[in-house]
Structure 1
Amino acid sequence: MPPPRLNHQNLRNESTAKDKTGTLDIPVKFLDQDYQELRKSCITNKKRFVDDKFLPDSSSIDPKKKLKLDLDQIKWLRPSNIVADPQLIVKEVSRFDYSQGSYLGNCWFLASVGALTFQKDIMDQVMPADQSFGKYYAGIFQFRFWRFGKWIEVVIDDKLPTINGKLIFVHSKTSNEFWPALLEKAYAKVCGSYADMHAGSVSEALLDFTGGVHVYFKLKKTSTDLWSLMDRAAKAKALMGCSTSQGDTSANTVLPNGIVQGHAYTVTEVFEVACQGEPVRLVRVLNPWGKGEWNGAWSDKSSLWNNVSESDQSKCRSLAIDGEFWMSMEDFTENFRAIDICCLSPDFLDSSSKCRWTSTCYYSSWDAGTTAGGRPSNKETFWTNPQFRVRIEELDEECASGQCPENILVSLMQIHENRYRSLVSNYAIGFSVFVIPLEMKDEKFPAKFFYNKRPVEASEKFTQARHVMKFFKLEPGEYLIVPSTFNPNESAKFMLSIFLRSETHRRN
């Protein structure tokens, strides 16, 4: 089979008129289960739903017996068998509603949930609002997640794993509130089991909640003004998470300053205060454990709060033991390894109102023997990888002189089809960007084009991850983007998204 031609497909038009399946309006029925039909059947037959695709037994908790759990002790109970007055939501959804369970290392997921609670519109997408334990309760709930370019509808029953009548995984601080446990169960079903949620990256759940634009920065290795970018992201209703480096010993070691090693947190706000006349940029962070806080400068009991205005103290300072704390941007950069930001629109990337961002998405694959050429050093095969042409337009002075010099974001995601998340094997992936000379009009650039030609940009390195991205600047001109696996003949499907900064053209 010959390598595919260069293709151009706009993200907004990726679904044809005949097939809108996979959108929020018409999500894919996960495991072919239709919520409305199943619920109607339960109500008609006066039965409560039992999910035969995610059975209330050990196969849904820990099929490989990796967790330190006595599975024989576990009883699956509906909320009405746990408390007298179960509610999906008590008052309103909040980041303080829940605490992480003791048996499952899914802080990456719960840190993303913390970010999700700030955005009601996105929460309503993930957890449709017309559900309750009220009049038409049938023991069935639905959730929606974005998976590899498509929205899916996930149906679950409300049987939850307990020991001695207590939830063993995520649990609400209000005993009769169950949205966190049901959301976790729905995501566990997508992952294959609860154990399949063990260990992960914040970005994975942030993307699955939004289907949005994702940027990732290593805090000590970027020249980007991150606090300003985070401030714009917060104003744009982005979801943000961060993570700490793994310790030298076991994971989750709590350092003397209160920070947990190898742990994921939620970024809940950024704010600037005046301290003795000097501006201080602060970041507010939440530990998904629901406890355990930073105890350094600008922490809850820090004397530095005495040097700011009463209004700023009233707005920011809290002495509650809830896992949330403030710290300076400098301390944040020093103590955290990376930050992930996910937003529905890419416009937060730039500070100028004169600029906008356009997006294009491609679905393709690396196929062994034809289009899986490996990294650039594989001179004879690299050219066979899928190739994507992009044009960088020259911007007017006002748009080009914004605080953000970067004008392109490239995002590469592997698409997996394995039912069980823990069995997914990510290849080391990356992409390279080459200048296209004006005289070259080729649709598929041959091997000789890449001989002795170095890329002008590339992903930082080939990373064994589901998703890699880079935010950078290119001069006006035409370029070729070549995504690849590290080794030749590694077959996988992928999604390449390209976001470009352009001028805003308003109609008169």
Structure 2
Amino acid sequence: FRPTTVYQKPQFVIDGYQRGDLDQGEIGIDQYKRKFLGFELNHHFYLGNCWFIAGAGAVTLNPDLLQRVVPANQSFDENNYSGIFHFRFWVYGQWYDVVIDDQLPFHTDGRLVFCRNKKDKNEMWAPLLEKAYAKLCGSYEAMEGGFTTDALIDMTGGIEEAFELNSTAAATADFKEQIKRVLWQAYLRKSMLGCSITADPKVTEAKLSNGLVKGHAYSITRVADVTTDVGSITLIRCLNPWGNETEWNGKYSDNSKAWDAISDEEKQELGVRALHDGEFWISFDDFYANFHQLHICHRGPASLGTTEDDAGVCSWNNLFRDDKLTWQEELLHGEWVPGSTAGGAGQPNKEKYWINPQYLVRLNFIDEGDDENLCTMIIALMQKGTRQRRIEGLEGEDYVQFRVFKVRSLYC
């Protein structure tokens, strides 16, 4: 149905774009039983696109990024309404417009089936964004399962970095401090953050006794240091895209007595609220002990920001407004072709290793303020068509890698 036939006054956006606008809609149990299972269950199920909702929620914290994905001047106003909306996504180095109509899946009681604003059902930008992304993926069904950084990259053109928090290395105090440092640096640089807990192989989104959910994607919406009676500690604010009471229930949760040790001024500045909205605070120590993955999408040259004039035309301006930040980007498309450019990993056929694609890079400039006279280079490797392969029942990704070698000046 079109929103105009279900609601009396649908609007594209109400009171700006907020992280709480995106609530992961649930599939009604009767529909789920009928369509998928054929037997009785006692709880509701969600479309497995929490990774997309978490990613979109993180992007709302960066208005300059969001305005590129969600172009301005779209409306249900009767003078401008045509039933057509468009959104932008970054795909393998290029920004593409995705155009959709506004027909959305609704329950018989008037609720949207998938993404929606639980607080104000008349706001439509989030479900329309989800529909546009589903079109990019191939269908709503194709959005079943994914990683938060998948959505973040598609909405920013940024560069992914992931950390395993339950690895052997993670057991060391040095690694834990490194993660805290990385988390702070990424947050201060306006990188987008997410986290998750490894799923059980045979259980989808299993809820733990502490309120967290396995196999589920969360946005990280803030990092802050607070003063307590035992000194300063780092707190992390996370958002569950279900947007309900399923939240962390341990220390620094909504009704935790740990907040009594923090001043009213700090609590007010942090915006601490006891609401069943899916958003909660957790200490860094508990975060590190309970979450298994930290996902970071760094803002690269493709996501430094845009502005839009009244006509909705992008002008590409660097909204960081930092003269010290200068990027040079090279984007190369290639492939491994058997007998031509597929040289393998060096074992067992060492003699063919050299035929793999090679790229020569010269680092001519030193980072300003770097005491060691170093230049930063970030390398990212991406595979194409992985989601489509998973839809077809194939292995989504092949094992690929890049290796970096220092070349003697003689060959440069």
With the length of structure 1 as denominator, give the TM-score of the two structures: 0.65
In the aligned structure 1, how far is the partner of 2:256 from the partner of 2:86? Answer: 44
In the aligned structure 1, how far is the partner of 2:81 from the partner of 2:354? Answer: 57
Instruction: Find the counterpart in structure 2 of residue 95 from structure 1.
Output: 19
| Superposed displacement of residue 393, structure 1 | 6.3
Higher Rg? 1
In the aligned structure 2, how far is the partner of 1:126 from the partner of 1:330? Answer: 35
Instruction: Find the counterpart in structure 2 of residue 169 from structure 1.
Output: 114
The residue type paired with residue 391 of structure 2 is S
1:422 equivalent to 2:391? Answer yes
CA contact (8 A) 2:22 2:53 kept: no
Q: What's the CA shift string for 1:186-225, capped at 9, x where partnerless?
A: 0000001110010001111100110123322223446472
Q: Out of 295, 311, 326, which is 1:340 matched to?
A: 295
Instruction: Find the counterpart in structure 1 of residue 5 from structure 2.
Output: 81
CA contact (8 A) 2:90 2:156 kept: yes
Q: Out of 119, 137, 143, which is 2:62 matched to?
A: 119
Pairing of 1:24-423 with structure 2 (within 5 A): 77-103=1-27, 104-134=47-77, 135-164=79-108, 165-173=110-118, 174-220=120-166, 221=169, 223=175, 225-247=178-200, 249-291=202-244, 292-316=246-270, 317-345=272-300, 358-377=328-347, 378-391=349-362, 399-400=370-371, 407-416=376-385, 422-423=391-392
| Superposed displacement of residue 287, structure 1 | 0.3
Consecutive unaligned residues of structure 2, counting only runs of 5 or more, are 28-46, 305-322
Q: Give the secondary structure class of the aligned counterpart of 1:171.
A: coil
Q: What's the CA shift string for 1:255-299, capped at 9, x where partnerless?
A: 000110011000000000111151101111000000211111111
User: Structure 2 vs 1, CA of residues 396 and 216 (structure 1 numbering), >3 Å: closer, same or farther?
Assistant: closer
Pairing of 1:18-29 with structure 2 (within 5 A): none
| Superposed displacement of residue 355, structure 1 | 8.1
Aligned residues, how many?
360
The residue type paired with residue 132 of structure 2 is A
Q: Give the secondary structure class of the aligned counterpart of 1:415.
A: coil
User: Structure 2 vs 1, CA of residues 391 and 247 (structure 1 numbering), >3 Å: closer, same or farther?
Assistant: same
Stretch of structure 1 that moved more, 171-180 or 210-219: 210-219
RMSD (Å), alpha carbons: 2.8
The residue type paired with residue 146 of structure 1 is W
CA contact (8 A) 1:156 1:186 kept: yes
CA contact (8 A) 1:354 1:399 kept: no
Identify, as 1 or 2, the structure richer in strand.
1
Q: Give the secondary structure class of the aligned counterpart of 2:132.
A: helix
Stretch of structure 1 that moved more, 156-165 or 419-428: 419-428
CA contact (8 A) 1:100 1:288 kept: yes
Q: Give the secondary structure class of the aligned counterpart of 1:294.
A: coil
The residue type paired with residue 403 of structure 2 is S
User: Structure 2 vs 1, CA of residues 237 and 414 (structure 1 numbering), >3 Å: closer, same or farther?
Assistant: same
The residue type paired with residue 6 of structure 2 is I
CA contact (8 A) 1:240 1:340 kept: yes
Stretch of structure 1 that moved more, 260-269 or 360-369: 360-369
| Superposed displacement of residue 397, structure 1 | 11
Identify, as 1 or 2, the structure richer in helix.
2
In the aligned structure 2, how far is the partner of 1:367 from the partner of 1:419? Answer: 20
* Identity value in percent: 40
Instruction: Find the counterpart in structure 1 of residue 30 from structure 2.
Output: none
| Superposed displacement of residue 226, structure 1 | 2.8
Q: Give the secondary structure class of the aligned counterpart of 2:259.
A: helix
| Superposed displacement of residue 420, structure 1 | 7.7
Q: What's the CA shift string for 1:39-58, capped at 9, x where partnerless?
A: xxxxxxxxxxxxxxxxxxxx
CA contact (8 A) 1:193 1:420 kept: no
Stretch of structure 1 that moved more, 186-195 or 276-285: 276-285
Instruction: Find the counterpart in structure 1 of residue 404 from structure 2.
Output: 433
Consecutive unaligned residues of structure 1, counting only runs of 5 or more, are 1-76, 442-477, 479-508
In the aligned structure 2, how far is the partner of 1:287 from the partner of 1:418? Answer: 24
Q: Give the secondary structure class of the aligned counterpart of 1:162.
A: coil
Q: Give the secondary structure class of the aligned counterpart of 1:188.
A: helix
Q: Give the secondary structure class of the aligned counterpart of 2:331.
A: strand
